[in-house]
């Protein structure tokens, strides 16, 4: 059996480790358009902050590929798939044949069509290690950095470059920062914290025109800058499947076994749509834990073991300048809420289950809330009032505590 994996990130690692549980000898080839050992993408901002190193960013040790008998081919871009002959055609004209194929191509930065963007010399995105290194190379003390986007990528970039003593301004069309995961009140807490760390915002605005070093907003405000960072979001890389008639929506459509609509082709990670069990809707959930678990699921099925991954939920665990944020699930139903202006908690529940939560500041025991969502735990089996105020095992029944602490199952 020959397994080919397109992409060299978290989902690929999950797949390799799963395949090797079941098939010790089958050939595994990994095709990567980057030129790096597998690394943890969320850490690129910490590299710029000086909180980590390229060595510590590695997602697995140097010997991973040899120990797992993988052939890693760097600087190789998959151009198309020849389904009839079961081959992946590469950008250099060569090809790689496969018996089972995994698409783990992730996503690419969306570059908005702003008039004059072509005139800007120092413009960057911020999703890969090479992006971070390229951006760092042009920053000087007092550089004026304009970040387009006040979401996860834009704000992590802002934090990452903050120690360079640069002037940072963020522009976003939304009325709040982190608009995809926070509500109005929690967003305001985070925004004030970021402003206290010298990040300026122009919210509910967009750039209508760019000159070489001037951005013009929709109200004619002019913002001078030296470096432009485009961080308005990403788009899943679906073309390899879409071009051969496979089912795609915003992402590649997969089933609970990570199979695409094309026989012997699987997909995992940020390029996919899967079912969010908290809302029962299909969506792209670009999260490192989901990517690994999807890769693992794909690898198990590719190597002949029936395996289902059906516990995906949207979840984010991030921090900015010491302020921690964890969110998960969907924000619908009745609400439990508490806030003291610095710490913020909002839980959403209905139909006897927890649907989602927002925690800012004190995020201790967030894992208990996440478990309740993933397992769809009936709320009438625990002391929900207690768990809202003080999440802990004491809110569970005696039997459940025994199971969670000692692995006891009736």
246 DSSP 8-state letter? -
- Residue-range definition of the domain harbouring residue 370: 325-406
Residue whose pair of structure tokens reads 């990040």 in the numeric block = 199
What confidence score (pLDDT) does residue 219 get?
96
User: Do 203 and 165 share a structural domain?
Assistant: yes
Specify the CATH number for the domain of residue 389: 3.30.390.30
CA 263 to centroid of chain Cα atoms: 27
Pick from 310, 312, 350: nearest CA to 331: 350
Is residue 272 situated within a structural domain?
A: yes
User: Do 94 and 17 share a structural domain?
Assistant: yes
Is residue 318 situated within a structural domain?
A: no
Distance CA 139, CA 299 (A): 42
Distance CA 145, CA 164 (A): 11
Single out the residue in 230, 263, 287 at which a domain terminates: 230
Residue whose pair of structure tokens reads 């678990």 in the numeric block = 293
CA angle 395, 398, 399 (to 5 degrees): 120
Per-residue pLDDT of the chain (410 residues; tens, 9 = 90+): 999 999 999 999 999 999 999 999 999 999 999 999 999 999 999 999 999 999 999 999 999 999 999 999 999 999 999 999 999 999 999 999 999 999 999 999 999 999 999 999 999 999 999 999 999 999 999 999 999 999 999 999 999 999 999 999 999 999 999 999 999 999 999 999 999 999 999 999 999 999 989 999 999 999 999 999 999 999 999 999 999 999 999 999 999 999 999 999 999 999 999 999 999 999 999 888 899 999 999 999 999 999 999 888 999 999 999 999 999 999 999 999 999 988 999 999 999 999 999 999 999 889 999 989 988 999 998 888 888 988 776 656 566 656 655 554 44
Single out the residue in 209, 230, 251 at which a domain terminates: 230
Does pTM top 0.85 for this prediction?
Answer: yes
User: Do 124 and 223 share a structural domain?
Assistant: yes
What confidence score (pLDDT) does residue 158 get?
97
Is residue 36 situated within a structural domain?
A: yes
Q: Are 59 and 39 in contact (CB under 8 A)?
A: yes
Q: Are 151 and 178 in contact (CB under 8 A)?
A: yes
With a CB cutoff of 8 Å and minimum separation 6, the contacts of 280 are: none
Specify the CATH number for the domain of residue 63: 3.50.50.60
User: Do 97 and 245 share a structural domain?
Assistant: yes
Q: How many domains does the chain have?
A: 3
Is residue 311 situated within a structural domain?
A: no
User: Do 360 and 224 share a structural domain?
Assistant: no
Which own/partner pairs from 18-21 qualify as long-range (CB within 8 Å, at least 24 positions apart)? 18/295, 18/296, 18/297, 18/298, 18/299, 18/300, 18/302, 18/303, 18/307, 19/299, 19/300, 19/302, 19/303, 20/68, 20/69, 21/300, 21/303, 21/305
With a CB cutoff of 8 Å and minimum separation 6, the contacts of 220 are: none
What confidence score (pLDDT) does residue 287 get?
86
Query: What count of other Cβ atoms lies within 10 Å of the Cβ of residue 27?
Result: 14
User: Do 101 and 241 share a structural domain?
Assistant: yes
With a CB cutoff of 8 Å and minimum separation 6, the contacts of 279 are: 329, 330, 332, 355
Is residue 205 situated within a structural domain?
A: yes
Distance CA 124, CA 132 (A): 9
User: Do 195 and 224 share a structural domain?
Assistant: yes
What confidence score (pLDDT) does residue 311 get?
86
With a CB cutoff of 8 Å and minimum separation 6, the contacts of 252 are: 103, 236, 238, 241, 246, 260, 267, 271, 272, 273
User: Do 91 and 78 share a structural domain?
Assistant: yes
Single out the residue in 211, 230, 249 at which a domain terminates: 230
Is residue 310 situated within a structural domain?
A: no
Is residue 265 situated within a structural domain?
A: yes
User: Do 331 and 278 share a structural domain?
Assistant: no
User: Do 239 and 91 share a structural domain?
Assistant: yes
For residue 348, what are its two tokens?
Answer: 């959403």
Q: Are 154 and 170 in contact (CB under 8 A)?
A: yes
Is residue 94 situated within a structural domain?
A: yes
User: Do 198 and 152 share a structural domain?
Assistant: yes
Distance CA 386, CA 339 (A): 17
User: Do 14 and 35 share a structural domain?
Assistant: yes
């Amino acid at each position: 059996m020959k397994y080919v994996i397109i992409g060299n990130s978290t989902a690929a690692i999950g797949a390799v480790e799963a395949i090797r549980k079941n098939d010790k000898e089958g050939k595994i080839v990994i095709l990567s358009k980057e030129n790096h050992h597998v690394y943890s993408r969320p850490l690129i901002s910490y590299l710029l902050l000086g909180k980590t190193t390229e060595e510590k960013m590695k997602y697995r040790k140097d010997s991973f590929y040899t120990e797992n008998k993988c052939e890693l081919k760097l600087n190789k871009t998959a151009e198309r798939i020849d389904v009839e002959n079961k081959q992946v055609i590469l950008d250099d004209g060569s090809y790689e044949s496969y018996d089972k194929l995994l698409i783990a191509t992730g996503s690419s930065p969306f570059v908005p069509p702003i008039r004059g963007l072509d005139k800007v010399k120092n413009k960057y995105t911020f999703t890969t290690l090479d992006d971070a290194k390229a951006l760092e190379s042009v920053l000087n003390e007092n550089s004026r950095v304009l970040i387009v986007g006040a979401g996860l990528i834009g704000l992590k970039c802002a934090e990452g470059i903050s120690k360079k003593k640069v002037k940072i301004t963020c522009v976003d069309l939304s009325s709040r920062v982190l608009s995809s995961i926070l509500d109005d009140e929690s967003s305001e807490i985070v925004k004030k914290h970021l402003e206290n760390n010298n990040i300026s915002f122009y919210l509910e605005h967009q750039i209508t025109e760019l000159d070489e070093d001037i951005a013009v907003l929709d109200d004619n405000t002019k913002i001078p800058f030296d470096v432009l960072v485009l961080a308005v979001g990403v788009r899943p890389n679906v073309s390899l499947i879409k071009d051969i008639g496979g089912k795609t929506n915003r992402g590649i459509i997969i089933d609970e076994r990570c199979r695409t609509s094309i026989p012997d082709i699987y997909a995992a990670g940020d390029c996919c749509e899967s079912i969010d069990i908290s809302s029962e809707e299909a969506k792209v959930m670009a999260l490192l834990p989901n990517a690994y678990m999807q890769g693992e699921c794909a690898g198990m099925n590719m190597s002949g073991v029936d395996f289902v991954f059906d516990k995906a939920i949207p979840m984010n665990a991030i921090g900015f300048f010491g302020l921690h944020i964890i969110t998960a699930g969907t924000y619908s139903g009745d609400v439990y809420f508490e806030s003291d202006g610095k710490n913020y908690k909002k839980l959403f529940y209905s139909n006897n289950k927890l649907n989602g939560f927002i925690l800012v500041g004190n995020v201790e025991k967030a894992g208990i809330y996440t478990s309740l969502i993933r397992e769809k735990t009936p709320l009438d089996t625990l002391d929900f009032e207690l768990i809202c105020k003080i999440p802990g095992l004491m809110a569970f029944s005696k039997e459940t505590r025994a199971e969670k602490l000692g692995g006891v199952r009736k």
